[in-house]
Amino acid sequence: MADRFARFRRFSWRSLAGKSPRSVAGQVFVLQVTLVALLVVGAVFALVLQSQRDTSTEAKRRSVAVAQTFAHSPGVLEALKTQKPSKVLQPLTEAGRKSAGVDFIVVMDTKGIRYTHPLPDRIGKRFVGEIQPSLEGKVYTESVHGPLGHEVQATVPIENADGKVVALVSAGMKVKNVTSEVNRQLPIILAAGTGALVLSTGGTALVGRRLQRQTHSLAPHEMTRMYEHHDTVLHSVREGVLIVGEDGRLLLANDEARRLLELAPDAEGWHVWELSDLEPDMVDLLVSGREATDEVHFAGERLLAVNQRPTDRDGGPRGTVVTLRDSTELQAVSGRAELARERLKLLYDAGLSIGSSLDVLQTADELAQVAVPRFADFVTVDLADAVIHGEEPAPTATDMRRVAVCGIREDHPLYEKGRLIDFLPSTPQARGYGTGRSELVTDLSDAPDWHAQDPERARGIVAYGIHSLIAAPIRARGVVLGMANFWRSKRHDPFDEEELSLAEELVARAAVSIDNARRYTREHALAVTLQRSLLPRALPEVSALQVGYRYIPAQSGVSGDWFDVIPLPGNRVALAVGDVVGHGLHAAATMGRLRTAVHNFSTLDLPPDELLSHLDDLVGRIDQDEACAEASEVVGATCLYAIYDPVSRRCAMARAGHLAPALVHPDGSVTFPDLPGGPPLGLGGMPFQTAEVDIAEGTQLVLYTDGLIEDRTRDLDVGMELLRRALAGHPDRPPDESCRAVVEELLPGRPKDDVALLIARTRALPSDQVADWDVPRDPAAVSGMRSAVSEKLAEWDLSELDFGMELILSELITNAIRYGSEPIHVRLIKDRTLTCEVSDGSSTSPHLRYAATTDEGGRGLFLVSQMAERWGTRYTPQGKVIWAELAPPDADEVALLEIPDDLFPD
């Protein structure tokens, strides 16, 4: 196939010119045809360029004329003053566009917001192009990539009667429409060029044929071949060749030797030491005549490998032959290879060190650290402020937070870390942020757009020696999150295009890690917010306890730890701490359900073991309900529930798979009570047990979740001992300070699991605030109890509540005598409220009902519910207790009881 092509090519040349391309005439012919073809192609190209230039100039002139005409059209200023300028101007611009032969006429305000556009959905959006010159009263033309494609447009100002620019008008054409004008002229230009090429080629062929006939016998074949061999050996090799005679005279030097040694044209025939361009070491070698193998010598800025051998080995004339090989490029290639290796090593190290955590600020700092000083002298990272908080970045380079600064020196004049920066649209950072493409500034001293941001600081940066900048956008998943700025000072050359690509690759490796950290920050914040919303916002104020607490979310994800303080009747307080197994939103949601259930069950005033039994049933039902939808999401939880009574100073506790609480006694010692351990919630089948502990006043109850003491690096016993040490010896320390001390001792860093800590110092109700009586089962005893209670209320300065308390007490004691059983006991408790408790040995609970007007009974509990703030029933192992609370009256007001007329029938 190759032979056929060669024969065809030779045949084509011979058929065209009748001569061989290897002859002198053939070479002249080819040269002439090539020159003619180049001239014709150049002329065609020039005509095409001229046509394009004329057409583009005409397009710009037309755009300027149309824009200026519309800007000065009557009614434009009046339309701009209306409330809806687009409604008036859009029909005018469309009519003007069609009549003027342009592709668009856009009217915008001074901020670049469009009033009109051929595409109605672009109205109200920002104009694509430069408007600053037009705002200064100038006519500005440019070529941009706009909504219609590649466009040529002109922008002119609209001025009011005072000469103030109130709006802008832009008119223009699509480049493809401008190009179509040029395309219509191409056939004529190409036809003319083809004719000129054909005529010139014919004339050249005639001249070449005549030259062939005239020079046919002037070049013998043998001499031609000898000349070709000589020329090939001496002048075509890439090594320099010198022949030096016995007397040190330069006999021959090929072209490469002349180039390498920069010899004069007439150097041949001179003595070597007379050649002033040679280095002394080179002269000594050539004069010595000794053998040399790959000796390195300098020739100006070149590094030469020199070999020298004698010429008389085979009986030839005495002298030496020298070969010179330029190793400068080899050294340069080696240098470039080393540079490439260093850059690959930099990228490799960046891949290992960037993104070690899901923290936006740390990832940005890792990017800055890895590039200094191996790539840049200073690196600054600016992120959109919303990105730091896990939100989506803003569309423009405003509200940029400088999150990382790293450099070879600390006294640099760059913006400090933590500063909020609004970059001007003209700065490289704003341009790169908007376009998503990196910006290279090789000379900061000659960069007016960059100086415009902060002229004084810019002068200080240049004076400091920082001269070059690469502003690379941190772009991930199609979104620009910020800018990474690489700065160089005098110790390095300015950045170039190759280093721009390296910077982009370096930033690309960090961008995904920063975006991952941003997404994690957002999701973690949402999860923590959800979890915190499920926890108590504030604990109730109770007289029985002084409470301090801490909740610390996990480092990654959320969990189901919770705590609660729930006031109970009789001045008692319930404390609850729990932990749902697992992490994530499912655990947090389950925690919210369990916490709500604890609140609901506590209103029934159940003992701790019964409350945990109800919780166990609830968790089991949750597992059954969710088994089909999410088989993997099995709910498990632990819980500790305690009830403290400040009157008896006893605490009843039960736990379901939870750690035992700690008690800090008034003497500063710490114990862990032997509390029976029940199974975790949700297993079912095993009962829970309640243990009662007598607690001295001032004792601290410490309830916590396993995240406080358990850790992979230490055993559970070690964590319990650390907790003991943190609590011991400080009996008088407030609970909140105890919480802080425990957290500092056991959690030096961010925990890997959620931690809930609740510390409550117990208080005892003074005996003079409690009164109790045993009541015989005799209706006549009611009157005596009313008198005794009235005397006690007078003693407590609560005589205002005498009437209401007598009614409540009479009803409750009467019900106990009539429907209950012995023993019957009455207790009054004075604290934030006045509580009346009537207990008996029966477990039958009364219930509220509404009696008809003809009924003789059934109004007692209704009267109690009307008089009391709250009332209810709780069961004890000995029977039941019916209680009612009255709020003490204000000092300046006495509550008046209004009894409905129909409450008691005549």
DSSP-derived 3-state class of residue 448 = helix
Q: Look up residue 243 and give its two tokens.
A: 């022949």
Rounded CA gap, 785 and 808, in Å? 12
Rounded CA gap, 689 and 861, in Å? 34
Rounded CA gap, 883 and 875, in Å? 11
Q: What is the pLDDT of residues 414-470, one digit of tens each?
A: 999 989 999 999 999 999 999 999 999 999 999 999 999 999 999 999 999 999 999
DSSP assignment string, 580-641? EEEESHHHHHHHHHHHHHHHHHHTTT--HHHHHHHHHHHHHHHHHHHTTT-TT----EEEEE
Q: What is the pLDDT of residues 39-93, one digit of tens each?
A: 777 766 776 676 667 667 777 887 888 888 887 888 888 888 888 888 888 888 8
Instruction: Using CB atoms within 10 Å of the CB of residue 123, give its burial: 0 to 12 exposed, 13 to 18 middle, 19+ buried.
Output: middle
Q: Look up residue 599 and give its two tokens.
A: 């609140």
Q: What is the pLDDT of residues 489-505, one digit of tens each?
A: 887 788 888 888 888 88
**CA torsion, ordered 244, 250, 256, 259, to nearest 10 deg:** 140
If one compares 896 and 884, the residue with the highest pLDDT of the two is: 884
787: left (phi over 0), alpha (psi -120 to 50) or beta: alpha
pLDDT tier at 658, thresholds 50, 70, 90: very high
Q: Determine the pLDDT at residue 382.
A: 93
Q: Are strands 420-421 and 400-407 parallel, antiparallel or unpaired?
A: antiparallel
Rounded CA gap, 324 and 238, in Å? 9
| Least confident interval from 557-561, 613-617, 645-649 | 557-561
Q: Determine the pLDDT at residue 16.
A: 42
Angle, nearest 10°, between helix axes 497-534 and 360-371? 160
Rounded CA gap, 142 and 175, in Å? 11
- Cβ burial 630-639 (10 Å sphere, 16+ → b, else e): eeeeebbbbb
Residue count of the chain: 906
Q: Determine the pLDDT at residue 220.
A: 47
Rounded CA gap, 23 and 771, in Å? 136
- For residues 563-578, give the mean pLDDT: 91
Rounded CA gap, 537 and 562, in Å? 12
Rounded CA gap, 255 and 118, in Å? 67
Q: Determine the pLDDT at residue 185.
A: 62
DSSP-derived 3-state class of residue 94 = helix
pLDDT at 509 over 80: yes
Query: What's the farthest any 2 CA atoms get from each other in the chain?
Result: 161
| Least confident interval from 230-234, 363-367, 432-436 | 230-234
Say which residue the tokens 């609850």 belong to.
Answer: 576
User: Are the CB atoms for 770 and 647 separated by under 8 Å?
Assistant: yes
Say which residue the tokens 């010598």 belong to.
Answer: 297
Rounded CA gap, 333 and 337, in Å? 6
Residues paired with 650 in a beta bridge:
645, 694
DSSP-derived 3-state class of residue 683 = coil
Q: Look up residue 565 and give its two tokens.
A: 């303080």
Alpha-helical (H) ranges within 853-893 are 860-867
H/E stretch holding 223 reads: helix 221-235
Long-range CB contacts (< 8 A, 24+ apart) of 65-68? 66/96, 66/97, 66/100, 66/102, 66/105, 66/154, 66/171, 67/105, 67/139, 67/154, 67/155, 67/156, 67/169, 67/170, 67/171, 68/139, 68/156
Say which residue the tokens 């583009």 belong to.
Answer: 56
Rounded CA gap, 50 and 418, in Å? 55
Beta carbons within 8 Å of 831's beta carbon, 6+ residues apart: 543, 571, 765, 769
Q: Determine the pLDDT at residue 689.
A: 92
pLDDT tier at 852, thresholds 50, 70, 90: very low
Q: CA–CA distance from 254 to each of 236, 237, 251, 322, 369 (Å)?
A: 9, 9, 10, 11, 54
Q: Determine the pLDDT at residue 714.
A: 77
pLDDT at 629 over 60: no
**CA torsion, ordered 411, 417, 422, 424, to nearest 10 deg:** 40
| Least confident interval from 113-127, 721-735, 847-861 | 847-861
Radius of gyration of the chain (CA): 49
User: Are the CB atoms for 676 and 634 separated by under 8 Å?
Assistant: no
If one compares 322 and 46, the residue with the highest pLDDT of the two is: 322
Q: Determine the pLDDT at residue 422.
A: 92
DSSP assignment string, 485-535? EEEE-TTSPPP-HHHHHHHHHHHHHHHHHHHHHHHHHHHHHHHHHHHHHHS
Q: For the chain, what is the mean pLDDT?
A: 80
User: Are the CB atoms for 678 and 654 separated by under 8 Å?
Assistant: yes
User: Are the CB atoms for 296 and 325 separated by under 8 Å?
Assistant: no
Q: What is the pLDDT of residues 785-822, one digit of tens each?
A: 888 888 888 888 887 887 888 788 878 888 888 887 88
What single DSSP character describes residue 857? S
CB hemisphere CA count around 534 (13 angstroms): 26
pLDDT tier at 484, thresholds 50, 70, 90: very high
For the question of whether the overall pTM of this predicted structure is more than 0.85, the answer is no
Neighbours of 662 (CB within 10 A): 22
Q: Give the sign of the dihedral formed by CA 525, CA 527, CA 532, CA 533.
A: positive
DSSP-derived 3-state class of residue 574 = strand
User: Are the CB atoms for 27 and 149 separated by under 8 Å?
Assistant: no
Beta strands in 633-674 (DSSP E): 637-645, 650-656, 662-664, 670-671
If one compares 299 and 555, the residue with the highest pLDDT of the two is: 299
Q: What is the pLDDT of residues 270-283, one digit of tens each?
A: 887 877 777 888 88
Q: What is the pLDDT of residues 519-541, one digit of tens each?
A: 878 877 777 677 666 677 677 88
